[in-house]
Amino acid sequence: MWGRLEVQREVLAYSEWDRYAKCGWTRYKAQADVPTRRRESGSWSIGNVVRCGYPGCPWCGTQLAQERASELGACMDAHRRRDPDADADVWMLTLTVPHFASDAASVVVEQLYAAQAMLLRSREWRTFNKQWGLVGNGVRCLDAVTGGASGLHAHFHVALFPTRAGLPTSEAWRLGLDEKATASEWLIAHDSIENFWAATIAADVRALPVDLATQLRAFGVWRKLATCSQRVRERYLADVAAPLVEAWLRCCRAVGVVVENVDAFRRTALRLTPSEEAVSYFVGWMLADEVSRSTAKDRNPLRLLDAIKAGIKGAAYTYKQFRRAVDGRQWVTGITDLRKRLGVTDEAVEAYAEERKRRREAELEREGTPVQKKRELDLVVRAHLFGAVHRLGWECVFAFVDECEGKLDAALPVEDVTRLVQRELDDFLWSHLAVSSGSAIGSDRSLE
């Protein structure tokens, strides 16, 4: 992360995003010390410096993503728990617009936002919202990768929170439920009432009441979609999304999107998937390398910084075009409204984050790679030595501190370790101070 922050500074310095280039490198007061702290997990934090708050920043964006992921995860848990009798579920709606390498990134993003706003006003969306009892319009997240032959691939992921996500009897047989799976699934795997009657006789169901619809649900004929298999849910949601696909096609064309292959558009431009994929994606939103692709092809904002550092031609230009395209846009919307509707408090979000951290550590423990706890260190980069940080980079400074601390006796008190490491850090920065002077980009510019 700190290495990417240095690349961002070099790319954006003295440009239209000059203030963002100051993130992590410019002090609020030119003569003030910069406190640095290493946590038990081994991660570092610094204070008394400018924060840009941009979602695509390696430092600010990663922290924002973690906060939003915790909020969304807490909302998902609260949604499923608030009414045990309700058919609550979480779906992920993915919206994409066709694009080409010749299309300007700003135009692609503008069309995406305009088309989605039109979709929310469409008759199909209002019907969909009412039919499934959605809580609000969901939580929308902007995702964008760039590179390859098609240019900027901007798209939305929307977490939807339906309250009536049930599987009707008429769909059970068509979706091919396995009659040998369970008794409840066997009862609904029939295409007619006659076959259902035969099934109930074979299962020794002694009486069927007058209100057949109510009792069918009691017998498991109407199932919560969340309890069905992944295969059944995916096939059913593909049919559920069909009316929205046509509405999305109409909205895209209305905002100027060129749709050359209508069949391909219907297959890929709008997808509705079950909650497992929604949870796994949103919890990892914008965290390091979530795209998991090579730096030579599709890249998210963080991977673009890696491509710049690797010297890939055109990566810096592409990164600036992406910044210009999403400038002023909100990357995540709807989370505040959703928290109010579900009554999710700050305490619930913190509890979810702690539980997620505990589960992650337990998983690493089972895999034989437990988290290595480190001593917490509270150090200071002296004001007169801060110029050396610009020359070396935070990544180098933190690596030096870790190396120094690792050489010390583990039995030493924390106070002694802090004192010894602080002295080594001061000497290290002092030895590089003269080299750092005179750097145009590396100069410590005060915040005006």
- Residue 226 lies inside a defined structural domain of this protein: no
Q: Which residue has the tokens 């997240």?
A: 141
pLDDT tens-place string over residues 120-162: 999 999 999 998 889 988 899 888 777 666 677 888 999 999 9
Q: Which residue has the higher pLDDT, 166 or 221?
A: 166
pLDDT tens-place string over residues 16-27: 888 889 999 999
Residue 396 scores a pLDDT above 90: yes
pLDDT tens-place string over residues 33-58: 999 999 988 889 999 999 988 888 88
The tally of domains found in the chain comes to: 4
- Residue 443 lies inside a defined structural domain of this protein: no
Residue 95: band (very low, low, confident or very high) from pLDDT cuts 50, 70, 90: very high
pLDDT of residue 445: 42
The residue range of the domain holding 354 is 344-372
Residue-wise over 154-190: b if at least 16 C-beta within 10 A, else e?
bbbbbbbbbeebbbebebbbebebeeeeeeebbbbbb
- Residue 95 lies inside a defined structural domain of this protein: yes
Residue 448: band (very low, low, confident or very high) from pLDDT cuts 50, 70, 90: very low
* Residues 137 and 261 occupy one common structural domain: yes
pLDDT averaged over every residue in the chain: 80
Residue 183: band (very low, low, confident or very high) from pLDDT cuts 50, 70, 90: very low
pLDDT of residue 223: 64
- Residue 12 lies inside a defined structural domain of this protein: yes
Q: What is the DSSP string of 241-308?
A: THHHHHHHHHHHHHTT---S-HHHHHHHSEEEE-HHHHHHHHHTTT-TTTT---TTS-B-HHHHHHHH
pLDDT tens-place string over residues 244-257: 999 999 999 999 98
* Residues 120 and 237 occupy one common structural domain: yes
pLDDT of residue 85: 65
pLDDT of residue 99: 83
pLDDT of residue 292: 35
* Residues 271 and 387 occupy one common structural domain: no
* Residues 199 and 299 occupy one common structural domain: no
Tell me the three state secondary structure of residue 141: strand
- Residue 448 lies inside a defined structural domain of this protein: no
